[in-house]
Amino acid sequence: MTTRPSLAAVVSCLVAAAILAVLPFLISGYHQGLLTQVAVFFIAILGLDVLTGYSGQISIGHGAFMAVGGYTTAVMSYYHHTNLIVTMLMAFGICLAFGFVVGLPALRLSGVYLALATFALAVSMPQIPLKFSRFLGGSNGLQAQTVSHLWLYGVAWAAAAILFVGAWLILRGRTGRAFRAIRDSEVAATSSGVELPIYKTLAFGISAAYAGVAGSLFVLATNGYASPNEFTVALSLQILIGAAVAGLGSLWGVLVGAVFVGLLPEVSSSVPVVGSTHGQDVVFGLFVIVVILLLPTGFAGLLARLRVRLTRQSMASINSDPGTS
Amino acid sequence: MGLLALENARLRFGGIVALDDVSLDVAEGTIAGLIGPNGAGKTTAFNVITRLYRLESGDVVFDGHSLRHTPPSRVVRMGIARTFQNVELFPTMTVLENVLVGGHAFARMKRESELRKDALDTLELVGIHMHADRPAAGLPFGTLKRIELARALASKPRLLLLDEPAGGLNHEEVGELADFIRRLRDELKLTILLVEHHMNLVMQVSDHVTVLNFGRTIASGPPAEVQRDPQVIEAYLGGELEPVA
């Protein structure tokens, strides 16, 4: 990644932004809701990519951070009628702190052990609203203020855009390099002066803060309803799948990953398969397998390979050697 | 006392004594060679100096300060940079980015364009600036060694620890490397501690040579003197351990 974004990157970002800005006025409220879902996943996957893709720490527990963010919004809105945008900022801040705290024990874990620890977090987090049911609404959940589809669409994608630029700014320079250095070689990173505890917990904090905002929007997207059933382990896995489809360690594939996990369940439910209620899951699973097989390095990896091929072709045409293909 | 000193350093791994009461003194502005057969404790000494290993007893003193409580990530800030025997690079990052990480400790509040210019200059110094935007993975071993050297130099160290810089080089390249190491000392005013199996290189460039065997210092002095030391000859020629040329 260079200091300045390439022209192609800027143009594709602007085109994507323009399409997303016009689109809500052409589609129904229901479809606006679906695309809001995509924005939620976009933000969550962005966060996971900072942690897993850049700093190399695997998390299967991002649903837990989303739950903290989501309940922050629900609690503040339900009890204090706080402005929803303000609750999102609070979700960001609280999850940033929570991420740091979770990052501390994670310093001692790596690889599959860290994955399991975060998995445990994802499993245990939905139990907390059940335990403190008087305050958090138990299994019935907690109702935040409801908003229109269009409002939420606008806020979600605006947040997505801001957080995307934020991630790009953080990752392009010294901090992003420190994250990737840790991922590639902890010994060499340390010897180059990269403080592992600081950067590893920082990655956790940023990542959790992103997931927190996503969780906040997620609650608003489900009619403002925060309930333990929404923040299951499956949600964490969806984010991980989205990040894998996007391609870890690159920001450019995140939109594709978000569209994949945001829309595929919807699309696959309308496919007439087995007919059972689980047909949707089967189709989703099959799609995931096919995509992972075809794109082992995700969409970003595909982009990188295409770029290499294009540069080779242009090099070849410059050299114009008729004997080689 | 010199810029760097190991004082009665002792370290064991299980039953094996890796460093047994090793003392070492590197005078500022000199090239010090550290040699010995395989397993003598040379790389261990590097890992002790850069705080990757913790000493059981003894001390590492740099510029008059004990490093006993210095975390490993602070060592480079004090002015010590190193390379690794088997190359520890960041394979998915570009050559330039590898060097930029080398300057991490002093990059705060500096402009990215300035950092990049510095890194490119460093790459030019070691002669691989044409590979700047290539991923480090997949480049030849000799180039990887140079990336490491550039990464170490990027922190503008006072003391440079080179762990087998001649590994994988041919005869002619070793000659160039010897000139380059001397240039680092003379032009950049660096102090260099060199671990090397390539005996010619060590004897050619070193101002002072220390010989380790089984974690103990068996000789220490000017190259010509050390070469004649019967214990050194015994360690290299008479023992069961054959030095790798």
ipTM of the modeled complex: 0.90
Contact with chain A for residue B82, Cβ under 8 A: yes
Q: Does B145 contact chain A (CB < 8 Å)?
A: no
Neighbouring C-beta atoms of residue B21, cutoff 10 Å: 15
* One-letter amino acid of B206: S
B200 and B93 part of one domain: no
B15 & B72 share domain: yes
Asked if the Cβ–Cβ distance from B73 to A183 is below 8 Å, we say no
With 90 as the cut, is the pLDDT of residue B100 above it? yes
From chain B, the residues in CB contact with A174 under 8 A are 100, 104, 107-108, 115
What would the pLDDT profile of A218-249 be if each residue is shown by its tens digit?
A: 999 998 889 999 999 999 999 999 999 998 88
- Last residue of a domain, which of B112, B138, B155? B155
CA separation for the pair A60, B190 (Å, rounded) = 47
| C-beta atoms of A191 and B90 within 8 A | no
Beta bridge partners of B210: B34, B220
User: Which pLDDT score, from 0 to 100, does residue B240 have?
Assistant: 46
Residue A300 has pLDDT above 60, yes or no: yes
Q: How many domains does chain A have?
A: 1
Same-domain status, B148 and B167: no
Asked if residue A138 belongs to a domain, the reply is: yes
pLDDT at residue A3 is higher than 60: no
**Average pLDDT value over all residues in chain B:** 91
User: For residue A231, what are the CA distances in angstroms to A67, A157, A214, B126?
Assistant: 6, 21, 12, 53
Residues 6 or more apart whose Cβ sits within 8 Å of residue A228: A67, A126, A127, A129, A130, A139, A141
The candidate with the shortest Cα–Cα distance to A177, out of B115, B94, B97, is: B97
Q: Are A16 and A133 in contact (CB under 8 A)?
A: no
Count how many Cα atoms sit within 13 Å of the Cα of residue A52 in the half-sphere of its side chain: 25
Point out the least confidently predicted range of A59-68, A298-307, A311-320, B49-58. A311-320
Instruction: Please state the rounded mean pLDDT for residues A259-285.
Output: 75
Q: What is the pLDDT of residue A276?
A: 56
Say how many domains are in chain B. Answer: 2
Residue A261 lies in a domain: yes
For residue A74, the model assigns a pLDDT of 95
Domain-located, residue B173: yes
Same structural domain for residues B181 and B205?
yes
Q: Is residue B151 domain-resident? A: yes
Q: Which domain holds residue B112?
A: 89-155
Q: Is residue A306 part of a domain?
A: yes
Q: Is A193 on the interface with B (CB under 8 A)?
A: yes
User: Residue B169: left (phi > 0), alpha (psi -120 to 50), or beta?
Assistant: beta
Residue B104 has its nearest CB partner, among A3, A174, A196, at: A174
pLDDT over threshold 50, residue B121: yes
The reply to whether B41 and B20 lie within a common domain is yes
Judged on CB neighbours under 10 Å (0-12, 13-18, 19+), B39 is middle
Say if residue A273's pLDDT is above 70: no
For residues B120 and B93, membership in a common domain is answered with yes
In chain A, which among 149-178 make CB contacts under 8 A with chain B?
172-174, 177-178
pLDDT of residue A324: 37
Report the distance separating Cα A43 and Cα A221, nearest Å: 14
In a domain, B66, yes or no: yes
User: What ranges in chain A are assigned the alpha helix state H?
Assistant: 7-22, 29-48, 62-80, 84-106, 111-124, 127-131, 133-136, 149-172, 174-184, 186-191, 196-221, 233-246, 254-269, 279-294, 298-319
- Locate all alpha helices (DSSP H) within B87-222, ordered by sequence: 95-102, 112-126, 141-153, 171-187, 199-205
Same domain assignment for residues B99 and B147: yes
Pairing label, strands B31-35, B57-62: unpaired
Is residue B107 a part of any domain in this protein?
Answer: yes
Instruction: Provide mean pLDDT across the span A127-152.
Output: 91
Q: Does one domain contain both B161 and B74? A: yes
The answer to whether residue B84 is domain-embedded is: no
Say if residue A200's pLDDT is above 80: yes
Q: A249 CA to chain B: closest CA distance, Å?
A: 10
Give B101 to chain A, closest Cα distance, Å: 6
DSSP state of B111: -
- Measured between alpha carbons, how far is A84 from A145 in angstroms, rounded to an integer? 8
A–B interface: beta-carbon pairs under 8 A:
80
Mean pLDDT (chain A, rounded): 89
Residue B150 structure tokens: 């550039």
Q: Which residues of B touch A196 (CB under 8 A)?
A: 73
- Tell me whether residue A7 is in a domain: no
The confidence score (pLDDT) of residue A271 equals 66
pLDDT at A39: 97
Span B49-54, mean pLDDT? Answer: 94
Contacts of A187 in chain B (CB under 8 A): 52, 84, 88
Q: Which of B111, B136, B155 is the last residue of a domain?
A: B155
Q: Give the CATH number, domain containing residue A169.
A: 1.10.3470
- Residue B127 makes CB contacts below 8 A (sequence gap 6+) with B146
Is B82 close to A191, i.e. CB distance below 8 A? yes
Using CB atoms, pick whichever of A181, A196, A249 lies closest to residue B101: A181
- Closest to A4 (Cα-Cα) out of B111, B110, B128, B120: B111
**Under an 8 A CB cutoff, do A191 and B116 touch?**
no
Band of residue A48 on the pLDDT scale cut at 50, 70, 90: very high
* Parent domain of A152: 31-319
Is residue A75 domain-resident?
A: yes
Residue A9 within a domain: no
Query: What's the CA gap between A49 and A53, in Å, rounded?
Result: 4
Is B189 part of a structural domain of the chain? yes
Q: What is the pLDDT of residues B175-218, one digit of tens each?
A: 999 999 999 999 999 999 999 988 889 999 999 999 999 999 99
Which of B73, B97, B101 lies closest to A195 in CB terms? B73
Report d(CA A188, CA A142) in Å as an integer. Answer: 48
Interface test with A, best of B47, B90, B92 (most A CBs within 10 A): B90
pTM for the structure as a whole: 0.90
> Which CATH number goes with the domain that contains B55?
3.40.50.300
pLDDT attached to residue A159 = 97
The residue among B245 and A286 whose pLDDT is bigger is A286
Do residue B90 and residue A181 have CB atoms under 8 angstroms apart? yes
What is the mean pLDDT of the segment spanning A203-211? Answer: 98
Confidence (pLDDT) at A8: 84
- Is residue A74 assigned to a domain? yes
Please answer yes or no on whether B101 and A192 come within 8 Å at the CB atom: yes
Domain boundary among the residues B121, B155, B189 is at: B155
Contacts of A249 in chain B (CB under 8 A): 92
* B42 and B161 co-located in one domain: yes
- The percent helix, strand, coil of chain B (3-state, each to 5) is 40, 25, 35
Distance CA B56, CA A314 (A): 60
Distance CA A154, CA A156 (A): 6
B100 and B147 in a single domain? The answer is yes
Q: Report the residue from B91, B104, B113 with minimal CB separation from A193.
A: B104
Does residue B147 sit in the same domain as residue B224? no
Are residues B9 and B73 located together in one domain of the fold? yes
Report whether pLDDT(A130) > 70: yes
In a domain, A262, yes or no: yes
